[in-house]
């Protein structure tokens, strides 16, 4: 980059856009942006970080970068688990956290218009204070992580059973293209309303699933849902196989379930602060311990409606020879010091502080993807066996999505980033788990680091892949937007 433009001159131009306070090239501050904080992916290095406050400032930054052919990487928190915001080729990291406002809430059409850097904590706090009858779909993520980044990367939400991935929650987008032009897609393209992406050509797809390589999102219209009375249930299964069988029946029972997710035994113990202990069996079911801990959430306008849904849920579980109980009653099985963070699973966003090894420099990474319901169980056992070969006890988390039309599963490995050798061992373990999962046929990685994205594309239709490459070249002719992410 320094061969293209003198560093001090570029610094002055950036400061002229955002102000001296919001630009830096100091090594101690750049260090904070050079990696995905918790993962085993290789770090990168940026040359500048800027914190714009408006769409116009983002536009000017990108226009400058495009003119000088300098990489630009959009960034919110640096905790996306797949390393998709690592500055792999230097350049400018655009930290969007100043752009964190809720600009509008339309209660009639149930949507919010938000800025691109808004976090889960920002969004939920605003809704609780100003619109308590509405709620957003939220991932199991820390409060300081980004909403829109999760949505455009197909994040799985606590309304995922009724609404699908975060991508389905997007009504419209305002985007700064890599050329510096600003576009809007969805109903906001020609009206003041952000109610949906219909009936225009669905250009939102140019920015969903591209891992920030086609533009920087500065505003988004996102779906909200009624904040109805709810009941949460724990469904215990002897095995992941038996538990998933129950979930498939529940998905087809017409109960209006809003969320249906599950953990394995190792994740359950991690919520209580136990990680990768030799006392934890690799195969809990052989030790007489349930390996499926489901969390099912139903909503209803009246107690009578909730009672009817509960009756059907309990009946299905009983017919399958398994047990279900209300969430609060299940907590009574644990002593106070054993509950750990389990209480927070029904109140997103959540800080998964006991699942990861948050020793100094600690972290974790997962191998996860979308998959047919036919293959989810097979994916679990294949990845678990691969982790066992590496001496790791993996945490697994799965969800039924969009009424059960597709599912997602991901297996986490905890480790300490203090040990370079351990990091390399974990990367090998993750790659082997990924390889095993792909053997089932329907598994596709999401939020993939470059090596996993390359595997996604190995079996892709070549004509479609060529089309994607042409689209990327058209939108980003100088290749400046988040380069090195695999396309």
Domains annotated on the chain, with CATH = 7-95 (3.30.43.10), 102-226 (3.30.465.10), 230-445 (3.40.462.10)
Rounded-to-10 torsion of CA 107, 108, 109, 115: -30
Beta-bridge mates of residue 115:
219
Q: 221 with 195: CB under 8 angstroms?
A: yes
d(CA 167, CA 147): 11
pLDDT of residue 207: 98
Is the Cα torsion angle 431, 437, 438, 442 positive or negative in sign?
Answer: negative
Who contacts 337 (Cβ-Cβ below 8 Å, separation ≥6)? none
Spell out the per-residue pLDDT of the chain, length 487, in tens.
445 457 899 999 999 999 999 999 999 999 999 988 778 899 999 999 999 999 999 999 999 999 999 999 999 988 777 788 999 999 999 999 999 999 999 999 999 999 999 999 999 999 999 999 999 999 998 899 999 999 999 999 999 999 999 999 999 999 999 999 999 999 999 999 999 999 999 999 999 999 999 999 999 999 999 999 999 999 999 999 999 999 999 999 999 999 999 999 998 888 776 766 778 999 999 999 999 999 999 999 999 999 999 999 999 999 999 999 999 898 877 767 667 667 778 889 987 655 555 545 568 899 999 999 999 999 999 999 999 999 999 999 999 999 999 999 999 998 888 889 999 999 999 999 999 999 999 999 999 999 999 999 999 999 999 999 999 999 999 999 999 987 7
pLDDT of residue 4: 47
pLDDT of residue 418: 82
Q: Which helix (H) or strand (E) holds 170?
A: strand 170-176
């Amino acid at each position: 980059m320094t061969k293209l433009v003198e560093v001090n001159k570029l610094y002055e131009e950036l400061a002229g856009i955002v102000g001296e306070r919001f630009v830096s090239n100091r090594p101690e501050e750049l260090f904070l942006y050079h990696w995905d904080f918790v993962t085993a992916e290789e770090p990168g290095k940026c040359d500048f970080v800027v914190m714009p406050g408006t769409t116009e400032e983002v536009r000017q930054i990108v226009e400058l970068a495009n003119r000088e052919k300098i990489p630009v990487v959009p960034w919110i928190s640096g905790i996306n688990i797949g390393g998709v915001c690592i500055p792999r080729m230097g350049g400018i990291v655009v930290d969007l956290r100043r752009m964190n406002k809720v600009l509008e809430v339309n209660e009639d059409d149930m949507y919010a218009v938000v800025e691109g850097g808004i976090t889960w904590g920002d969004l939920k706090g605003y809704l609780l204070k100003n619109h308590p009858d509405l709620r957003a779909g939220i991932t199991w993520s820390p409060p300081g992580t980004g909403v829109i980044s999760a949505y455009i990367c197909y994040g799985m939400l606590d309304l995922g059973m009724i609404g699908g991935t975060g991508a389905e929650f997007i009504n419209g987008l305002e985007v700064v293209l890599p050329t510096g032009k600003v576009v809007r897609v969805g109903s906001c393209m020609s009206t003041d309303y952000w109610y949906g992406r219909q009936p225009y050509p669905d250009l939102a797809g140019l920015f969903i699933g591209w891992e920030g390589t086609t533009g920087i999102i500065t505003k988004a219209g996102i779906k909200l849902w009624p904040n109805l009375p709810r009941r949460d249930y724990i469904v215990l299964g002897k095995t992941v196989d038996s538990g998933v069988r129950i979930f498939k029946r529940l998905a087809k029972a017409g109960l209006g379930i809003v969320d249906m997710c599950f953990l394995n035994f190792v994740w359950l113990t991690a919520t209580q602060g136990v990680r990768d202990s030799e006392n934890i069996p690799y195969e809990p079911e052989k030790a007489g311990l349930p390996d499926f801990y489901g969390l099912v959430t139903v909503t209803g306008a009246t107690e009578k409606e909730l009672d009817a849904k509960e009756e059907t849920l309990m009946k299905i579980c009983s017919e399958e020879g398994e047990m279900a109980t209300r969430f609060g009653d299940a907590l009574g099985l644990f002593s106070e010091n054993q509950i750990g963070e389990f209480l927070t699973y029904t109140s997103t966003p959540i800080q998964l502080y006991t699942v990861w090894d948050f020793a100094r420099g600690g972290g974790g990474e997962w191998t996860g993807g979308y998959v047919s319901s036919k293959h989810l169980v097979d994916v679990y056992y294949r990845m678990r066996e691969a982790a066992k070969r590496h001496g790791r006890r993996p945490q697994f988390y799965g969800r039924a999505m969009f009424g059960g039309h597709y599912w997602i599963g991901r297996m986490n490995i905890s480790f300490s980033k203090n040990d370079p050798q351990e990091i390399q061992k974990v990367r090998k373990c993750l790659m082997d788990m990924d390889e095993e999962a792909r053997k089932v046929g329907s598994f596709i990685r999401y939020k993939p680091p470059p090596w996993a994205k390359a595997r996604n594309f190995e079996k892709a239709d070549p004509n479609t892949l060529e089309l994607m490459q042409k689209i990327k070249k058209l939108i980003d002719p100088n290749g400046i937007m988040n380069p090195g992410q695999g396309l």
